[in-house]
A and B are shown apart, each in its own frame.
Chain A
Amino acid sequence: MPYFGSEETVKELKRALANPHVQADRLRYKNYITKVIRYMTQGLDVSALFMDMVKASATVDIVQKKLVYLYMCTYASDKPDLALLAINTLRKDCADPNPMVRGLALRNMCNFRMPGMPEYIEQPIVAGLRDKASYVRRVAVLGCAKLHNLQPYTDMDGSIVNELYALLRDPDPVVVVNCLRALEEILKDEGGVVINKPIAHHLLNRMKDLDSWAQSEVLTFLLRYRPRSDDELFDILSLLDAFLQSAHAHVSVSTLRLFLHLAAAHPAVQADALLHTSAPLLATCGSASRELRFAGLCHVQQVMRSQPGLFGTHYKRFFCGYSEPSYIKFRKMEILVELVNDENVALVLEELRSYCTDVSPELAQAAIAAIGRIARTYSEKCLDILTGLLALKQDHITSAVIQTFRDLVWFCPQSTAAVCQTVEACVDNPQDSEGKQALLWLLGEHGEQISSAPYVVEGYIDGLKTELSSAVKMELLSASVKMFLCRPAETQDMLGRLLHYCIEEESNMCVRDRALLYYRLLQRGVEETRKAVTGPKSDPSMSVLTGRQEEPISLWASAFNTLGPLSGRDLCLQTVIISASAQPSSSAEEELLPGSKDVTLSCPNDTEEEISLSLGPPLSHETFEKMWLDLEILHRQTLGFPRPKAAADTLQAALQLVKIQTLAFTPGDTVPWKAYLYTRGTGTLILAELLQEDPEAPGTEGSLVVSVKQQPANQHTIRGFVAIIKSVFQTLNFDRL
């Protein structure tokens, strides 16, 4: 927040902090320090006070110390040289007899983000790991992760990792979990912390001591463990059984995810777990806080994808409260539609009808669409309701009802007659373009059953000049032509006018081209036109596709209890990709999304077929270099095997076969080995770098790393590209063997 006279304020504070009288009065001094933090919170740059604040850190007052540390952590990266001054005080505090002071000093020392820091903090961290107070150990363990973040790949990583693995047996539960967290961050390039049998069992036995946050996290870590035998599997499951009913929604959902994952081969166990969790899930849906309710509903939706019947008897729980926020209401309606059966249909419809008059037009329209969905099975009752809604004569409702009618007629032809009757009786027409399109489609497709159809269409043709939406105009063209085919006498004249206007005066190219197309079609004769224009009037087979279907649990289990379910079904996949391809700032996310990896690994053949690469015009070295510098890396992946030892020509030829051009590569066995490639696919240009580090370097294991840049970005193509690269190298490696 920009402040007027901010420089004045800073100067004033500086004067006050340097004033010896103020410094002598402890309370006043602290007040000024509080003020500095307050300005910092508001976004004012108070970094100029760094020197004075460092002085203030030498105090016995813990609260003042904390404030100063908070200040220093924020600005240390801006003033690294001055921050070094504070280190002596901090190091002294690390040896304080009070464990709280030790912990505080260590934590803040690790929080300073500046170069040159690691050499000062290494020693206190190692000492902290062996401290007798668990409070200090907790801090020290996370300090290891911070240290690694600050300076990856130091020589001491190895010894720290061993020490952290040993600390997994610490008596303090928080230390144990912190160890897992720290190891996960330090080892992220190698796939995170290893959960072997002894560790897994140790964690399972400690579960009860942990707090709920830690339980949730440990359950996520355990996803990585594969039991050796069925006996072991069932032992684990019975240990975890109690957590399915945990007081905390997040723990019970995490447990459910682990259950589904572990028992992938035992559908009966999975079903049983779902049944067990349904009560806590429902409780979450009715919880007092709306955000949690929302999260609960999203997860219920996921579960219903496989077990639609699980919540059938609880449908009343998904009735909306009047004051609930719309995001909850939308979800509840979606669930209600899925839960409809012969017994509750009347009550559910009654409920949905009351939402149709909601103040928010969006919500009302969603409710109408929901009734439309139910109408595919219970058309008669729903049609009555929808017809009743038309009588309200409200624009947004009318429009939504007409749109629902259009979809309904398409899915269940048996309702056509009733719909046509209603449409004929409906006097006022929708005002928005979506609604107009729907009405025109109905009139065109079923014109012979609606006696007033030509007059309604004529009204639209007369008002053509004021119509703004080109989509409506296109629909109008189609409708008029279709109507002409079944009722030529009434329509001929106005169709002529319409075509004339659209061809001569219309400025929108799409509309004009469509009009020209129809004009030329009509020139070839009515029969030809009929053949081209009319198609099936409904598609009942579609309802099989859109109807309820029990999906296998594995389809959603991998994204369960992540952000995926909350962002909606359509966004689900997208989120997965985004998070996986985001800068590898942490490995936890890659681990949390096993699905995204599996996709690329398990079905490289499918992806390969879907994308087609081409060579296109060659790129010059200069262009490539320029683009490489301009673009950002969109995807980076460790391929998991070393580079093939085949000769350079073989490699180049092999890549050329799959339409990937090699631009340059390091000759022979030089280390690190690099190669630059490019190719084109589905309208985008892909640039890639292959890199093999020294096989002796820690953390890489001599595996090949591919980094991809692309213009314009298209995740799908990238995945395909990586899959192709993989298969090529695998083939080459195989040959060598």
Chain B
Amino acid sequence: MIGGLFIYNHKGEVLISRVYRDDIGRNAVDAFRVNVIHARQQVRSPVTNIARTSFFHVKRSNIWLAAVTKQNVNAAMVFEFLYKMCDVMTAYFGKISEENIKNNFVLIYELLDEILDFGYPQNSETGALKTFITQQGIKGQPQTKEEQSQITSQVTGQIGWRREGIKYRRNELFLDVLESVNLLMSPQGQVLSAHVSGRVVMKSYLSGMPECKFGMNDKIVIDKQGKGGTTDDAGKSSGKQSIAIDDCTFHQCVRLSKFDSERSISFIPPDGEYELMRYRTTKDIILPFRVIPLVREVGRTKLEVKVVIKSNFKPSLLAQKIEVRIPTPLNTSGVQVICMKGKAKYKASENAIVWKIKRMAGMKESQISAEIELLPTNDKKKWARPPISMNFEVPFAPSGLKVRYLKVFESKLNYSDHDVIKWVRYIGRSGIYETRC
């Protein structure tokens, strides 16, 4: 399977190297550096084959992670494994950066030892790993009897993702609906493609082995209830909008058979934070912002750009961290910007005007206009006009998804659904949100 794992910084210096199998020689580390990191050209494929050895590489900020194998493996699996590894590392020490990796170097070796054995994935659930490797590094104290028995029961129990005997004084759960909305719009305002990929992330602090049931405004469920349900129920559901989910996938704890037959999502949740489901929608997306570009070429040395952004949601809501990036030609000599709101700056190194607005309420409009002076060039090359991209964060779900309920049942311990404190939060972020100009 995976013969070795290497982590490099952007210069190609080895930060971590762990070889699991003999068929990967010590020179493999250097082969990757020379052929990929130091290669002048762009990366041609995320899988590079050097001397019959395949290098699967992923780049996170400035860090390269590479998995090496000599066998014909399942590529999607190796990539997902690398992401999982990143997730585990992030769970332990936050962002993956050169500094963090150097500081947590011992911890990473410990993790690598536990996650893979002889190149085979062993244990990659952060929750379970934390019983083996604590961040403090067990400081020479032999474990207590209790902890030992926990390890044994944790890995032999029927439910691999939750250990028994969890107790909380306060039973609490947090639901986060995190969505990223992607858009590609033509200059005329026609939506070329739009989709929302969302995740429901749950943080559960519940005692015992609770049985949970999760409900949302899924079209299929609502329609079914509308037909067969009581008048009262139908009245309620028609008031709310339902959404059509294109496809969704669940954490392994969700009983898929029940979802297939009755479309109900029931599960015993893992302890702590995890991703309950992932979904995608393409229909009836609420596009939080509309970008209207206007580019006019005045002669050969001047360009006039006017961009209007319109927020398209309830006036009571506030969007945050808005950033509009207007690309400028390579031969720009000077830029004058006037904007009604926020701050705008020309960043020569990025070839773009970056316009930042801290907050913006719904149903508002704002505008920026810029004059771009160009250097005359002999280069006949036409400016390719990259699209205007946008970043933002809004406190609702652009797909229209709503959490209808999350019920908790625990028959053995005496707390009921009402005793659990529940929190729901919606965050919509921009994915690739581009408008051509």
Which residues of A line the B interface, CB within 8 A? 1, 26, 34, 37-38, 41-43, 59-63, 66-67, 70, 74, 97-100, 107, 113, 132-135, 138-139, 142, 145-146, 149, 171-174, 177-178, 181, 209, 211-214, 216, 220, 242, 245-250, 253-254, 279-280, 282-284, 286-292, 294-296, 298-299, 316-317, 319, 321-323, 325-327, 347, 351, 354, 357-360, 392-394, 561-564, 566-567, 575-576, 578-579, 582, 585-586, 588-589, 592-593
Contact = CB atoms under 8 A, between A and B. Distances in A.
Contact of B197 (A67, A146, A172, A288): A288
Contact of A567 (B47, B79, B386, B434): B47
B252 A212 contact: yes
B42 A63 contact: no
A134 to B, nearest CB: 5
A566 B79 CA distance: 13
Given A99-B152, A249-B80, A567-B49, A579 B160 contact: no
Given A134-B155, A211-B124, A250-B80, A26 B143 contact: no
B47 A563 contact: yes
Interface string B98-132: 00000001100110010001101111110000001
Nearest to A213: B121
Interface residues of B, number: 92
B73 A563 contact: yes
A220 B180 CA distance: 34
Nearest to A77: B22
A70 B79 contact: no
A221 to B, nearest CB: 12
A592 B118 contact: no
Given A70-B113, A242-B260, A566-B75, A41 B384 contact: no
A90 to B, nearest CB: 15
A326 B46 CA distance: 11
Contacts of A291: 46, 56-58, 79, 82
Interface in B155-211: 155-156, 158, 160, 180, 182, 184, 192-193, 195, 197
Contacts of B39: none
B356 interface: no
Given A41-B17, A253-B74, 6 more contacts: A98-B143, A134-B152, A174-B123, A292-B80, A563-B75, A575-B72
22 contacts: A1-B13, A37-B106, A38-B105, A41-B15, A99-B148, A149-B22, A213-B77, A247-B250, A250-B77, A250-B80, A289-B58, A291-B79, A316-B192, A319-B184, A323-B389, A323-B432, A394-B381, A562-B73, A563-B47, A564-B72, A566-B75, A567-B47
A39 to B, nearest CB: 11
Nearest to A245: B249
B76 A284 contact: yes
Contacts of A360: 42
Interface of B: 1, 13-17, 19, 22-23, 29-30, 42-47, 49, 52, 54, 56-58, 70-77, 79-83, 105-106, 109-110, 113, 117-118, 120-125, 132, 137-140, 142-143, 148, 151-152, 155-156, 158, 160, 180, 182, 184, 192-193, 195, 197, 246-247, 249-252, 256-257, 260, 278, 280, 380-382, 384, 386-387, 389, 431-432, 434, 436
A283 B280 contact: yes
Contact of B113 (A66, A216, A354, A589): A66
A283 B247 contact: yes
Contacts of B120: 142, 177-178, 181, 213
Contact of B46 (A100, A290, A317): A290
Contact of B249 (A42, A66, A280): A280
Nearest to A214: B121
A209 B160 CA distance: 7
A41 B389 CA distance: 41
A294 B75 CA distance: 10
A34 B14 contact: no
B22 A42 contact: no
A205 to B, nearest CB: 13
A247 B109 contact: no
A280 B80 contact: no
A220 to B, nearest CB: 7
Contact of B142 (A26, A98, A282, A322): A98
B410 to A, nearest CB: 23
Contacts of A174: 122-123, 155
Contact of B52 (A145, A564, A566, A582): A582
Contacts of B252: 211-212, 247
B104 to A, nearest CB: 11
A240 to B, nearest CB: 12
A100 B151 contact: yes
Contacts of A99: 148, 151-152
Contacts of B14: 1, 41-43
A216 B381 CA distance: 49
Contact of A322 (B148, B152, B260, B387): B387
Contacts of B257: 242
